[in-house]
Each structure stands twice: as C-alpha cells, then as structure tokens.
Amino acid sequence: MRVFANGIWRAAFAAGAIFLAASGTCEADTMSQIGTLASPEDTVLIPIVLTSAGAVTLQTYGFGGGVNAAGTPIAPGGFDPFVGLFSGTGDGAILVDGTSDILTNYTPGCPPAGTVMLGGSATCGDVNLQFTGLAAGTYTVLLSDGEYIPFATFEGPGGTLGDGFVDFTAGAFQTCDANSDCNDDTANWALDITTSGGAAPPPVPEPPSVELAGMGLAFSAAWIYYRSRDGRLIQGGTR
C-alpha cells in the first residue's frame, strides 16, 4: 500500500514539475509578425513593453524573403520597408530612430533576409535596426513602405508619431535603384521583433491562472493523501 501512495505522490510531483517548467517558457524573446498593407500609405503599429532596461532589434524579411524566427518561410518580392521605434504610444509617441533603404542611416538586414535582383544587381531592401540601453516602458514599433516615412525622421529630437508622414511612394509599391531600374513589389511584409533585458513583446501567452490553481490543488491533494495514508500505515503497524 505504501508503494501505491508513493506512486501517486511521485506522479503528481512529476506532472507539477513538467507544468511549471513549461509555464516558465511561455514568454518569448522574439515576436514574428507577417501581413499585407492595404496601400503604400498604410502603416503597421505594434506596441511592446520593456519591463526593465533592455534592447530591441527589428528585422524585416518581406523584401528579400527568408525564414523568420518562428520558422515560417517568407517569399521575396514584398516592398522595401521603413521600420522605426517610438517611445510611448499614440500621436505623442516620440521617435527613437528609424530607417529605410532610401535614407542615409540605412542598416541592411541581409542576411538573414535575402536579396532581390534589381537592374542586374543583387539588392538588399530589408532592415536590421538595433536599439540598446532602452529604459523600461512602453514603445511603439512602426512599419510602413520605405518611401512613406514619418516626418519625425527629419525633425530631429522630439519628433512624434502624430507629426504625420512624408509620402514619396507616388501611390505604388515599387523599388528603384539610382539608375531608375525599378521592380514592382507586392504589399506583403514580415517583421521580427526581438527583445532582451526583461522585455515582454505582446502578445505573450501567460500561464492560465486556473491551470496554476488546479495544479496547486493537485499538489495539495496528493500531499494530504500521502500523509493520511502514511498515518494509517503507522497506526496499523505495517510500516
């Protein structure tokens, strides 16, 4: 009978350990997003929260394709994007920095993204933008066409999301080189947001409180059963 009681306790403990280990891995370091813009003047806004001082890396794949952090293959041929990070949310969010392949501060994201042939040359239009030493707080990631650029980019410190956009797209998804060789692009985009240092990009699946409570009850029940069973065995003299 003692073997049976020990078996229940060990099974409950093992199940609890597995559950707690799994719940500890629910928070992801990288959030992969894909989508399609409605027009060259459309934008994507993604809020993220840094729970303590940390870093953020923005990596796109839509232009040259590749495999994102979620393991999803991304086809090449999308538009060359602008990506930027704003401190705060809404119109009052202040630009930290941002870039696209038509700006002088462009930071190529190839690799891991691929390249596309443009005017006979392999061209990188994806972006890898890295931020370090960020304070804890709420931030907004902006993605748009590489020629639909927030006005804050040209304003210097203090420019906000509410200042609007400068539109060089001429209403078309298109990438051109210095020789006016152009490719028509699709409206597809792909973006990985990687955070570190106590960062929590939403949506992050949290361990359901009901399941945690249930596991706690299972532990308690198993322990009570074990102790009461053990007591009966002592009283019966079979220990």
pLDDT, position 200: 52
Same domain assignment for residues 104 and 162: yes
CA gyration radius for the chain?
26
More confidently predicted of 194 and 210: 194
Judge if 73 and 14 occupy the same domain. no
One domain for residues 90 and 159: yes
pTM > 0.75: yes or no: no
Evaluate whether residue 24 is within a structural domain: no
Is residue 26 in a domain? no
Q: Which residue has the tokens 């040259």?
A: 64
Whether 166 is in a domain gets the answer yes
Pair (159, 227) in one structural domain = no
pLDDT at 117 over 80: yes
Residue/partner pairs of 215-218 with CB below 8 Å, 24 or more apart:
215/15, 215/16, 215/19, 215/20, 218/12, 218/15, 218/16
pLDDT of residue 205: 38
Is there a domain that residue 222 lies in? yes
- Tell me the H-state helices in the chain: 2-23, 209-236
pLDDT: is 177 or 30 the higher one?
A: 30
Q: Is residue 179 part of a domain?
A: yes
pLDDT at 24: 34
- 40: CATH: 2.60.120.380
Q: Which of 84, 99, 102 is nearest to 43 (CA)?
A: 84
- Tens-digit pLDDT profile for residues 193-207: 999 865 554 544 334
What is the span of the domain harbouring residue 230?
2-19+210-236
- Provide the number of structural domains found in the chain: 2
Based on the domain organization, do 170 and 228 belong to the same domain? Answer: no
Nearest to 169 by CA among 191, 155, 184: 184
186: how many CB neighbours lie within 10 A of its CB? 15
Task: List pLDDT tens digits, range 11-49.
Answer: 443 444 433 333 333 344 899 999 999 999 999 999 999
- When mean pLDDT is compared across 9-23, 84-98, 162-176, the lowest value belongs to 9-23
Highest mean pLDDT among 81-85, 179-183, 227-231 belongs to 81-85
- Per-residue pLDDT band for 4 (boundaries 50, 70, 90) equals very low
Question: Do 93 and 8 lie in a common domain?
Answer: no
Are 36 and 14 found together in one domain? no
Q: Are residues 46 and 142 in the same domain?
A: yes
Q: Report the distance separating Cα 59 and Cα 62, nearest Å.
A: 10
pLDDT surpasses 80 at 213: no
Please check whether residues 142 and 169 belong to one and the same domain.
yes
User: Bigger pLDDT: 239 or 123?
Assistant: 123
